[in-house]
Amino acid sequence: MQKRIDVGSEIDSQCGRCKLLLNHVVVAMVGTEPRKVKCLTCQSEHIHRVPKAKSTSSGTKRKAGATAKAKSASSALARWQTIISSWDDSAAKSYTIYDSFNVDDAITHVKFGRGGVIAVPGPDRIITLFESGEKMLMQAKKRP
Ligand SMILES: [Zn+2]
């Protein structure tokens, strides 16, 4: 049983800015799937992401703290797989150092392939995630 989701519906989505699972409103759909959502907390629009726990998961085990370090590498890959699972070529931007990017933008890089922006630590740099891992890249450079 699934309730009908459409543009304007409120759904839970993982907010890249708030770093939490929060209430979002759907702003764009692809078929029957929410594609873009707007965070009701920080008002940022981003690609809809659900936490990886799906109906197939057999019970969630939580070990507080102990596995946090080991998890960060695999969660980076999991996050990349989430980006790829909702990949849409028409929504992806080609990376150049002259453009500006936002958290959750899907980007293609000539060397690293498909990935996403996971953080914007400064006006001239972004942290991106590709299959090969996290990369710090320049952005918003002045064109020569
Ligand atoms: Zn947010």
Name the maximum alpha-carbon separation found in the chain: 56
Tokens found for residue 15: 């907010």
The CA 21 to ligand 1 mean position distance, Å, reads: 9
Exposure string (b/e) for 38-63, b if CB count within 10 Å is 16 or more? bbeeeebebbbbeeeeeeeeeeeeee
CA 37, 40, 41: angle at the middle one, nearest 5? 125
The CA 70 to ligand 1 mean position distance, Å, reads: 26
The CA 125 to ligand 1 mean position distance, Å, reads: 20
pTM listed for this prediction:
0.49
The CA 1 to ligand 1 mean position distance, Å, reads: 28
Q: In total, how many domains does the chain have?
A: 2
Q: Are residues 117 and 83 in the same domain?
A: yes
Average pLDDT on 88-115 reads 93
Q: Are residues 43 and 82 in the same domain?
A: no
The CA 105 to ligand 1 mean position distance, Å, reads: 14
- pLDDT classification of 52: cutoffs 50, 70, 90: low
- 37 neighbors 11 (Cβ within 8 angstroms): yes
The CA 132 to ligand 1 mean position distance, Å, reads: 27
pLDDT of residue 56: 47
pLDDT for residue 48 is more than 50: yes
pLDDT for residue 23 is more than 50: yes
* 66 within a domain of the structure (yes/no): no
Q: Are residues 129 and 81 in the same domain?
A: yes
Tokens found for residue 139: 């952005």
Per-residue pLDDT tens digits for 56-76: 444 445 555 555 555 666 777
- 11 neighbors 34 (Cβ within 8 angstroms): yes
Q: Are residues 105 and 142 in the same domain?
A: yes
pLDDT of residue 76: 79
Q: State how far the alpha carbon of 91 is from the alpha carbons of 30, 59, 97, 108, 121, in Å.
A: 11, 34, 18, 10, 23
pLDDT of residue 83: 84
The CA 19 to ligand 1 mean position distance, Å, reads: 7
Per-residue pLDDT tens digits for 74-89: 777 888 888 888 888 8
pLDDT for residue 112 is more than 90: yes
- pLDDT classification of 50: cutoffs 50, 70, 90: confident
* 62 within a domain of the structure (yes/no): no
Structural domain for 117, as ranges? 75-144
* 103 within a domain of the structure (yes/no): yes
Residues, CB-to-ion distance under 5 Å, ligand 1: 15, 17-18, 39, 41-42
Q: Are residues 34 and 79 in the same domain?
A: no
Range of weakest confidence among 64-68, 114-118, 126-130: 64-68
Average pLDDT on 36-44 reads 94
* 80 within a domain of the structure (yes/no): yes
